[in-house]
């Protein structure tokens, strides 16, 4: 057992969070002494209820968590505005690179996934879809709720507080962390650019100590490119209270194949 602020906060044996869309991976991580966290945005409420029930049957009282894309306001707002903003941030050079790959390998233009991915992202952010998922999430015995999109709305923080659920948020730069700390989250996940580059361009070994210095008593998890014990030890040496691992589980027996 390794005692850190994270293990004390969540009552787990190892300072490791395993993030995955497969309930089997989540259950095995929690059963092994870490904290499994299920990515839930793609589920319907009925599917999510069934998956969380199954996880609870497997872990037999051990803690687990969920990760959900929640927009800044869960009651109104147009998710297409956020999608348009994100699309505007994609450099022309990137679009040219993708177009070049399609031409070079004779791949049909319709294989370009940008539009499909953005449409799915917008659907996942629709408040009318998010609210029922939140209702399911907080009807179960989760230990941690991770907000994967900016600062969690006040109503989500209130629900978590009343249920005794730890709230974590992902950050990719110091200004993200400052906003999250002002909001009052319990755990920061410092996600370096090695994690697919979707939280920013700062490398994990640079970002982690920066966020640790900002966070004070708030536990920080290191994420991005962490897949071995040596990398986990390095994260702890940088001041992190644990690690958040995602891609490492993709080749595991328990990981389910991506949906088509």
Q: Calculate the alpha carbon distances from 31 to 63, 162, 242 in Å.
A: 9, 26, 17
Higher-confidence position of 198 and 11 = 11
Q: Single out the residue of 206, 200, 191 nearest to residue 238, CA to CA.
A: 206
Share of the chain above pLDDT 90, in %: 67
What's this model's pTM, rounded to 2 decimal places? Answer: 0.83
Q: Residue 257: its pLDDT value, please?
A: 59
The gap between the terminal CA atoms of the chain, to the nearest Å, is 39
Residue 259 has pLDDT above 90, yes or no: no
Pick the CATH number of 5-71+125-251 from 1.20.140.10, 3.20.20.70, 3.40.50.2000, 3.30.420.10: 3.20.20.70
Enumerate the β-bridge partners of residue 144: 65, 166
Q: Residue 14: its pLDDT value, please?
A: 97
CA 68 to chain centre: 7
Share of the chain above pLDDT 70, in %: 85
Residues 6+ apart with CB under 8 A from 183: 151, 152, 157, 169
Instruction: Tell me if 63 sits within 8 A of 144, measured CB to CB.
Output: yes
Q: Single out the residue of 191, 182, 122, 187 nearest to residue 160, CA to CA.
A: 187
Tally the residues of the chain: 260
Residue 260 has pLDDT above 50, yes or no: no
Sort residue 209 into left (φ over 0), alpha (ψ -120 to 50) or beta: alpha
Q: Quick one: average pLDDT of 198-223?
A: 94
Every domain of the chain and the residues it spans: 5-71+125-251, 78-124
Residue 110 has pLDDT above 80, yes or no: no
CA distance linking residue 103 with residue 213, whole number of Å: 47
Residue 118 has pLDDT above 60, yes or no: no
């Amino acid at each position: 057992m390794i005692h850190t602020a994270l293990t004390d906060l969540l009552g787990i044996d190892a300072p490791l969070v395993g993030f995955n869309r497969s309930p089997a991976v989540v259950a095995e991580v929690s059963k092994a002494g870490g904290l499994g966290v299920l990515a839930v945005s793609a589920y319907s409420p009925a599917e999510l209820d069934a998956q969380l029930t199954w996880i609870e049957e497997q872990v037999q009282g051990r803690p687990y968590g969920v990760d959900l894309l929640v927009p800044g306001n869960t009651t109104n707002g147009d998710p297409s505005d956020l999608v348009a903003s994100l699309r505007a941030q994609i450099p022309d050079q990137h679009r040219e690179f993708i177009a070049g790959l399609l031409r070079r390998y004779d791949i049909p233009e319709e294989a370009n996934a940008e539009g499909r991915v953005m449409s799915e992202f917008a659907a996942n952010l629709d408040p009318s879809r998010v609210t029922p998922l939140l209702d399911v999430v907080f009807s179960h015995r989760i230990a941690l709720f991770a907000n994967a999109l900016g600062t969690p709305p006040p109503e989500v923080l209130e629900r978590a507080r009343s249920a005794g659920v730890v709230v974590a948020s992902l950050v990719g730069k110091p200004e993200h962390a400052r906003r999250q700390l002002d909001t009052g989250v319990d755990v920061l996940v410092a996600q370096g650019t090695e994690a697919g580059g979707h939280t920013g361009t700062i490398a994990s070994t640079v970002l982690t100590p920066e966020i640790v210095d900002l966070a004070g008593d708030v536990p920080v998890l290191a994420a991005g490119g962490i897949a071995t014990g040596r990398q986990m030890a390095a994260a702890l040496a940088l001041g992190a209270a644990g690690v958040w691992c995602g891609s490492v589980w993709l080749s595991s027996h328990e990981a389910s194949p991506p949906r088509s």
